[in-house]
Structure 1
């Protein structure tokens, strides 16, 4: 089915995950009545841009995907869809998404999403992924954009709350991605992608996973200390972060099957960030005045 191919090339699982985090950031900032039209415009515009980035990424990564078992059945690798069709599809989705954000949100939200798109497509996909062990770190910035864009769509400013979200979601990306690289080690090795476990070994990656989870746990608490979230959120943040850390530390046991362990760490990372996104939406608070504003924009629609 032709429509199914156009759907698959956009990586719907990634779109859904970004949609949840964007809604979490939006509702964290939206204290009191929610502007549902603004929420719809934000998540719709963001989803279209993410879909665009994924489609274009598929075009860029065709040679790599052909060497990896988990990606060998992607539509561009199998020839079920042409590169020209996928690229055109991606560009149309991107234009539609950016227009939606420009027309119905605000310049700052638009700029956040543009930043994420440029990092993911221009910096990460075209260069860093293939050439540097720090590609994961650079790519984490684009992965952290959705909740920040959702937050900024409401507030029209990049303040301490937005900065905490950026740091928090960037830190989360690291153990999440390293876990994937461990249980898909052979794929990354075959494709010549310089991820940390392949370049510096699984033991080094395990150390980094533990350290990043610790840093992530601290960042999650900052939302409460800054007055942006309440004790319900704090309870969930502490419970999930500590359990995730316990799971990561279990990887140092002698009898550990590294692939099975990494898969568990990966799946629990999804539970962790989904739970926190939901709790941000349910237990957000208005911080006391005095937070330093880094960047401002008209919070109303940009027309």
Structure 2
């Protein structure tokens, strides 16, 4: 990692610049899935404890984002998708991002441990370490399987929420983790298909760069086919129900169809139609997780009022 940006001496960083270091869009998904993991657990949690748990998990996710931006400042500067981030844009120094990430990491882990239990705090600490060190510093720049293994970091929040409530790990927590873990590769590979030049210019060995588009499309189909039954399986556990099963069957049917369309599409199609299939698949993938976790929350609400 090198500090590839020049900080404007006349510019004074604003609160929004530091907040952007926390990757608020990613944090919103972390907050939602952690909240669902907490709410569907078979243990009633005091509202204040629950609020604190989700808050500290969110802060931990933000810490991971800041550490990732600190380390990736050099490649962010050459990718069109990330060039406007605070460090490459010259709004925040890499050192400030590192300091913020480390401070928030320690704060979030300690406070989650005090608010809930040590196992939840330990999982949060491991998640931050995994994203900042294992994924960002090692996997991302060294292997085309970076997003496959690195996806574990984004899959932990619902499991941490569950553990914060119950103090233990169960099949349901593992399946919520697995749902996000298996969703991550097809989600990011679809993005990489139409942003291949960005990753190539940055020297990031995404599958599209190292093995080409055809192999990437094959991988998207395989992972989606593995994801679908796993997602439906979650509906047959104690946290599943009719709402979740309906959503899982319909959403995964569409997801498999989208992956199949990507796999079979013609490389030589007209320029205007290029990547339309990939973009459609990627856009639905953004909704995919939200629908599944919202459905889990709906079934939990129905159980709470006695309808299930």
Distance across 1 between alignment mates of 2:42 and 2:56: 18
Match of 2:242 in 1: 231
Match of 1:260 in 2: 276
Distance across 1 between alignment mates of 2:178 and 2:283: 21
Q: 1:253, CA displacement in angstroms?
A: 2.8
Match of 1:26 in 2: 38
SS of match in other structure, 2:141: helix
8 Å Cα contact 1:102/1:110 also seen in 2: yes
Match of 1:16 in 2: 28
8 Å Cα contact 1:58/1:76 also seen in 2: yes
8 Å Cα contact 1:27/1:280 also seen in 2: no
8 Å Cα contact 1:181/1:197 also seen in 2: yes
Q: 1:258, CA displacement in angstroms?
A: 4.7
Match of 2:85 in 1: 74
- How do 1:95-114 and structure 2 match up within 5 A? 95-114=106-125
Confirm whether residue 274 of structure 1 aligns to residue 290 of structure 2: yes
Match of 2:17 in 1: 5
The partner residue of 2:67 within 53, 56, 65 is: 56
Distance across 2 between alignment mates of 1:253 and 1:196: 18
How many residues of Structure 1 are paired with residues of Structure 2 in the alignment?
A: 285
Confirm whether residue 139 of structure 1 aligns to residue 150 of structure 2: yes
* RMSD of aligned residue pairs (Cα, Å): 1.7
- Detail structure 1 runs of 4+ shifted over 4 Å in the superposition: none
8 Å Cα contact 2:34/2:161 also seen in 1: yes
SS of match in other structure, 2:216: helix
8 Å Cα contact 1:183/1:260 also seen in 2: no
CA change 1:111–1:199 in 2 (3 A) is same
Q: 1:30, CA displacement in angstroms?
A: 4.2
CA deviation map 1:258-297 (0-9, x unaligned): 53322221111111100111111121499xxxxxxxxxxx
Confirm whether residue 43 of structure 1 aligns to residue 54 of structure 2: yes
SS of match in other structure, 1:44: helix
8 Å Cα contact 2:110/2:121 also seen in 1: no
Distance across 2 between alignment mates of 1:27 and 1:181: 34
Unaligned runs of 5+ in 1: 287-303
Distance across 2 between alignment mates of 1:35 and 1:262: 43
Q: 1:34, CA displacement in angstroms?
A: 4.8
SS of match in other structure, 2:205: coil
Q: Output the TM-score relative to the length of structure 1.
A: 0.89
Q: Output the TM-score relative to the length of structure 2.
A: 0.88
Distance across 2 between alignment mates of 1:10 and 1:172: 22
SS of match in other structure, 2:87: helix
Distance across 1 between alignment mates of 2:178 and 2:81: 30
8 Å Cα contact 1:175/1:209 also seen in 2: yes
8 Å Cα contact 2:45/2:165 also seen in 1: no
CA deviation map 1:57-112 (0-9, x unaligned): 11100111111111111111121111121111212222221122111011221122
Larger relative contact order (CA 8 Å, sep ≥ 6): 1
8 Å Cα contact 1:119/1:138 also seen in 2: no
Distance across 2 between alignment mates of 1:102 and 1:121: 20
Distance across 1 between alignment mates of 2:229 and 2:238: 15
Which shows bigger deviation, 176-185 or 276-285?
A: 276-285
Unaligned runs of 5+ in 2: 1-12, 304-308
